[in-house]
């Protein structure tokens, strides 16, 4: 009897979170990505913990320890391929989750949306730090380029860069602190994910129609538990296909070379999921302006809850809004493509035009939908 009363609060929280939670009956497959991101986060934490057991954060050893552990540690190759490709699938899920929230106006729930954007920022930071750890050629130069951007900050820029590096160049101190922060950030993200769910369950989920669904809800289990499990199967299948058959397809060949500060790669670029922001950074000829544009490319998501309100939540009933939204998706894909190209014409001009269109969407979508409200 004592044990039952001791654990009943926890059991009650679990029951209300994943079993009896009232859920709109008409939510579609696009709402599956929340649970998929939870699976991705758990996978990244577990595989990262396993990899950390066989990793040495030292510039003279990291690259060789990673290579040697492939043959000396059972299934280390599998965990590394899972961790690397899992990061890519994590970002695919994040971007689709954000796109769904933008299309269906989930940002009207300010607390849920704001915590989600903070999670995105921390995941991006963790991915960048983790990319540096194997100490490959592109990892080293990527860390050098990105951290050097802080030198554009007025007055304190140089001091911030030295503090990040732990010295006067990207070296052993940099790698050590990057490893420590990369290890801690996923647990911070997990805590924020719990807060994200708390606000979501407190305010309720949105739905494709954008109208109140309080009169037509069903319990989460077993309807949506089974639906989420099917989504996980469809998501995990391609991930395991990459892990087993094309483990390095999304990686950079330069990272099979040890980081060398004396040899600069011909074309320095980050992982594919950062290329859209990298293209925006390069589109601005001024260094400080590029850094501001880079930060604004993500921070502008905080503006969405304060954009002009519409009569109906979501873009389903706004034809011009839908055209603008899917144009943004195309711009995002083209920015990712432009970020993978060298800094030369015509790619610079293309990046500048696409960057303008990217920011123009956030300024135009609110007034455009308000005009359609008045016409209707």
Binding-site members are: 83, 97, 182, 196, 201
User: How far is C-alpha 99 from the geometric centre of its chain's CA atoms?
Assistant: 12
Rounded Cα distance, 46 and 247, in Å: 18
List binding-site positions for heme b.
83, 97, 182, 196
Kindly give, in sequence order, each residue whose CB lies less than 8 Å from that of residue 136, ignoring residues fewer than 6 positions away: 63, 252, 254, 255, 256, 257, 258, 259
Terminal C-alpha separation, the chain = 62
329 CB-side CA count, 13 A: 14
Q: Per the annotation, where are the binding residues for a ubiquinone? A: 201
Long-range CB contacts (within 8 A, 24+) of 173-179: 174/132, 174/143, 174/147, 175/57, 175/58, 175/59, 175/62, 175/132, 175/133, 175/135, 176/57, 176/58, 178/57, 178/129, 178/132, 178/133, 178/143, 179/55, 179/57, 179/129, 179/133
| Listed residue (73, 43, 40) closest to 56, CA to CA | 73
Q: Which of 256, 45, 35 is nearest to 130 (CA)?
A: 45
Catalytic residues: 201, 205, 227-228, 271
Calculate Rg over the CA atoms of the chain: 22
- Alpha carbons 138 and 174: distance in angstroms, whole number: 16
What gap in Å lies between CA 105 and CA 306, rounded to an integer? 11
């Amino acid at each position: 009897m004592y044990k039952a009363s001791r654990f009943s609060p926890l059991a009650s929280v679990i029951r209300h979170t994943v079993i009896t939670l009232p859920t709109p009956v008409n939510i579609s497959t696009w709402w599956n990505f929340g649970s998929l991101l939870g699976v991705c986060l758990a996978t990244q934490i577990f595989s990262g913990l396993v990899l950390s057991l066989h990793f040495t954060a030292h510039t003279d050893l990291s690259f060789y320890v990673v290579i040697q552990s492939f043959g000396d540690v059972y299934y280390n190759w599998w965990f590394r391929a899972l961790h690397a490709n899992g990061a890519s699938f994590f970002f695919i899920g994040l971007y689709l989750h954000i796109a769904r929230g933008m299309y269906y106006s989930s940002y009207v729930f300010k607390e849920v949306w704001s915590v989600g954007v903070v999670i995105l920022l921390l995941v991006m930071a963790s991915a960048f730090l983790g990319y540096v750890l194997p100490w490959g050629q592109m990892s080293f130069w990527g860390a050098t380029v990105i951290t050097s951007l802080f030198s554009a900050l007025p007055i304190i820029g140089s001091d911030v860069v030295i503090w990040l590096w732990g010295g006067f160049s990207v070296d052993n101190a940099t790698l050590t602190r990057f490893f420590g922060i990369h290890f801690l950030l996923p647990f911070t993200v997990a805590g924020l994910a719990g807060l994200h769910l708390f606000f979501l369950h407190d305010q309720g989920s949105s739905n494709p129609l954008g109208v109140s669904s309080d009169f037509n809800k069903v319990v989460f289990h077993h309807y949506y538990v089974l639906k989420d499990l099917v989504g996980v199967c469809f998501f995990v299948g391609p991930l395991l296909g990459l892990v087993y058959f094309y483990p390095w397809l999304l990686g950079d060949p330069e990272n099979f070379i040890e980081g060398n500060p004396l040899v600069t790669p011909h074309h320095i670029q980050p992982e594919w999921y950062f290329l859209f922001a990298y293209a925006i950074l390069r589109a601005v000829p001024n260094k400080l302006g590029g850094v501001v544009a880079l930060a604004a490319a993500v921070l502008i998501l905080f503006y969405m809850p304060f954009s002009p309100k519409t009569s109906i939540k979501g873009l389903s009933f706004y034809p011009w809004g839908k055209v603008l939204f899917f144009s943004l998706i195309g711009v995002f894909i083209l920015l990712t493509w432009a970020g993978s190209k060298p800094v030369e014409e015509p790619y610079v001009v293309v990046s500048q035009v696409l960057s303008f269109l990217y920011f123009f969407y956030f300024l135009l979508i609110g007034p455009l939908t308000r005009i359609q409200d008045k016409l209707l």
